[in-house]
Amino acid sequence: MGEIVRLQKYIAMCGVASRRAAETLIAEGKVRVNGQIVRELGTKIEIGADEVAVHNKPIKATQKKYYIMLNKPSGYVSTAKDQFERPTVVDLIGEEISSRIFPVGRLDYETEGLLLLTNDGDFTYRVTHPKFHMDKTYIATLKGGITVRGLQQLRKGVVIDEDFKTAPAEVEIMDAVNGQTVVKITIHEGRNRQVRKMFEAVGSKVTHLQRIQIGKIELGTLPLGRWRYLTSHEVTYLMNS
């Protein structure tokens, strides 16, 4: 008898999508088990016994796991495929690997810096799910300055997207010159364009944004547009933090 797992976990194990993205695929009726469309998220399957297909293509659990760090440039979308045919972060990875991986979370189109990619859905879940409180650190360049009150508001949490109050952020001014202010900010949430919206909420405009750290994993000197494999120590840290 094979291992019994939830359907969304199996899809993630196969490297098709993250666990949360797999839940969306199931809800949209794009997943079949033994030929039948399944929409129930609690469905369990037996690995090796049940046949699972996504978009009518059979899937199997992948053996080799990939864990990659990319220094994302501006002008790339953080998806495996883009409906508008814009360049994607996966385009920056070697062709042999790129068809098997997907981004862990997202950086918006204009934002640069540290982005992880993998084909391990459990890894994605550990890094991105809010309950694990994985810190993400950014360097934001602001047009003009930021008030002391603005800094205090960010440290207490601000309201964005009309009704969402952010968790308290760690914020410190790094530099201020030539009409620009450079600020380091650490958050653990990951809403769309969250850092930019947080600064907008206190009256500041971000002109450049770079993510430099996830947890204790630092971008370091990795050149813009280049990638490397995570070390086994880094993977273990991220899976167990």
Sheet holding 57-59, edge to edge: 36-37, 31-33, 52-54, 57-59
- List residues with catalytic annotation: 108
Spatial neighbors of 106 by CB under 8 A, at least 6 apart, are 78, 79, 115, 190, 192
Task: Tell me if 121 sits within 8 A of 13, measured CB to CB.
Answer: yes
Task: Count CB atoms within 10 A of the CB of residue 73.
Answer: 16
Helices 121-128/232-240 angle, 10° precision: 60
Residue in 72, 77, 54, 85 with CA at minimum distance from that of residue 116: 72
> Residue 179: CA atoms inside 13 Å, Cβ hemisphere, count?
2
